[in-house]
Amino acid sequence: MTKRAERAGAGVEDGRVWRRGRVLAGTAAFAGLLLLFHGVVPNGVGGLGSLLESFLPWLGVPVVVLLVLALVRRSPLALVVLLLPAAAWTYLFGGLFLPAPEPGDDDLVVVQHNVSDENPDPEGTARALVRAEPDLIALEELVSPALEVYAEALAPDYPYRTVRGTVGLWSKHPLDGTGPLDIAPQGMGEGWERGLRAVAHTPRGEIAVHVAHLPSVRVRASGLASSWRDESAGLLGDALDAEEQSKVVLLGDLNGTVDDRALAPLTSRLDVAERGLALSFPAGFPVARIDQVMARGGTVESVRTLSATGSDHLPVAARVTWG
- Interval 248-261 mean pLDDT: 97
Residues 116-169: tens digit of each pLDDT: 999 999 999 999 999 999 999 999 999 999 999 999 999 999 999 999 999 999
Residue 188 has what pLDDT?
87
pLDDT bin (cut points 50, 70, 90) of residue 15 is low
Q: Which of 90, 161, 156, 97 is nearest to 123 (CA)?
A: 156
Q: Which of 301, 293, 291, 290 is nearest to 323 (CA)?
A: 301
* Residues 207, 198 contacting (CB under 8 angstroms): no
- Reduced DSSP (H G I as helix, E B as strand, rest coil) percent helix, strand, coil of the chain, to 5: 40, 25, 35
CA triple 200-203-208, angle to 5 deg: 25
3-state secondary structure of 212: strand
Residue 2 has what pLDDT?
61
Residues 69-124: tens digit of each pLDDT: 999 989 999 999 999 999 999 999 999 999 988 888 789 999 999 999 999 999 99
Mean pLDDT computed over every residue of the chain? 93
Q: Which of 212, 220, 203 is nearest to 251 (CA)?
A: 212
Cross-strand partners of 198: 209
**Is 262 a residue whose pLDDT tops 80?**
yes
* Residues 49, 260 contacting (CB under 8 angstroms): no
Name the percent of the chain lying above pLDDT 70. 94
Q: Which of 311, 260, 269 is nearest to 39 (CA)?
A: 260
3-state secondary structure of 36: helix
